[in-house]
Amino acid sequence: MLIPLRSALAAFALIACSTVADGCEMPAPFALEDVRRADAVFTGHLANYARIETGPPAVPVSYGLLTVNVEEVIKGQVPGRVEIAWFNSTFDIPDERPTDVPLLIAAFRVEDDMPGPVWCVLQSPCAPAFVLDDTPESRADVRNALSGKHVPPRDYFTLQRAEILRRQAAAENAPINTGTDWPTLGWLSAILAGLVLAAWLMVRRKG
């Protein structure tokens, strides 16, 4: 069975956080060069994620709280376990994020009077957040971008999309199958051939 359409759309909306926007008429492309504006760049695993609602009722503030176990620091200084706010003001804050995918994150420090942690996910307006798949290619591209080199465009969110689709499929008891189900087609072909043969024999007997 193929993945239901709503599962694919959920994956797209969560990772792209990038394309369907309430405040953007057109999504902005992801620019890896923006990583140069980050105060810290590091890899790690998402230990926990929560959607936080705070602020007075008249002016509520929503943000995603990412708790990350840091593995390697590429730029700046962060503790071994760090909390990062993801305000994502241009788009809706998702209720959940995949936790099984290694991440490469760029963040910046915020003012002390801002709600939440002192670290915030780097994200340009109308563009995807700097919460990338942690792959050898991603690390190499980020290091090249930090050193001022030009980096060709690449999809940095493949693993996260795949994990979201896997979770959606498991929750809906719909196994992921992007290929042809040859055994099922074989049985259907055999049944169809049997029906055709039976019909032909009946016609022959009547004739």
CA 166 vs. chain centroid, Å, equals 12
The three-class DSSP label of residue 50 is strand
Indicate the domain borders of the chain: 5-171, 178-207
Angle of helix 5-16 relative to helix 158-171, nearest 10 degrees? 140
Strands (E), 96-194: 103-109, 119-121, 131-133
Contact between 32 and 128 (Cβ < 8 Å): no
Among the listed residues 94, 92, 103, the one whose alpha carbon sits nearest the alpha carbon of residue 131? 103
In angstroms, how far is the first alpha carbon of the chain from the final one? 43
Query: Is 90 exceeded by the pLDDT of residue 206?
Result: no
Question: CA-CA distance, 142 to 105, in Å (whole number)?
Answer: 10
pTM equals 0.70
Q: What is the pLDDT of residues 63-113, one digit of tens each?
A: 899 999 999 999 999 999 999 999 875 567 888 887 888 999 999 998 776
The whole-number average pLDDT for the span 154-175 is 83
CA 102 vs. chain centroid, Å, equals 12
Question: CA-CA distance, 50 to 97, in Å (whole number)?
Answer: 9
Q: What is the pLDDT of residues 119-150, one digit of tens each?
A: 999 998 888 899 999 999 999 999 999 999 99
Output the CA torsion 170→174→177→180 (10° steps). Answer: 170
Q: Kindly report the CATH number that applies to the domain delimited by 5-171.
A: 2.40.50.120
Query: Is 60 exceeded by the pLDDT of residue 5?
Result: no
